[in-house]
């Protein structure tokens, strides 16, 4: 039940449908479904994914791996 609830929530409430992957973002741009991403939104979405990865990396270095 927990896994099903997570997947359902991720599917309904995130535009990446629980896949934070730029390749999936580009592929979703080429689909004509309700879970697709418009071509105008691909670049900002990928930039947000990269920014999130950089921020997460920084926070891990600061919190988990202190000097």
**pLDDT tens string 15-40:** 555 456 777 778 878 887 776 778 88
Q: Which domain holds residue 35?
A: 2-63
Whole-angstrom distance, CA of residue 58 vs CA of residue 54: 6
pTM of the model: 0.58
Please tell me the predicted confidence (pLDDT) of residue 55.
94
- Work out how many domains the chain is built from and give that number: 1
| Structural contact between residues 36 and 28, judged by C-beta atoms closer than 8 angstroms | yes
CA geometry: angle 34, 35, 39, nearest 5 deg: 95
| Structural contact between residues 9 and 27, judged by C-beta atoms closer than 8 angstroms | no
């Amino acid at each position: 039940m927990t896994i099903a609830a997570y997947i359902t929530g991720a599917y309904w409430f995130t535009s990446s449908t629980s896949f934070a992957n730029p390749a999936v973002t580009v592929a979703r741009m080429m689909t004509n479904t309700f879970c697709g991403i418009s071509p105008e939104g691909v670049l900002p979405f990928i930039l947000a994914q990269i920014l999130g990865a950089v921020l997460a990396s920084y926070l891990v270095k600061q919190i988990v791996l202190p000097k």
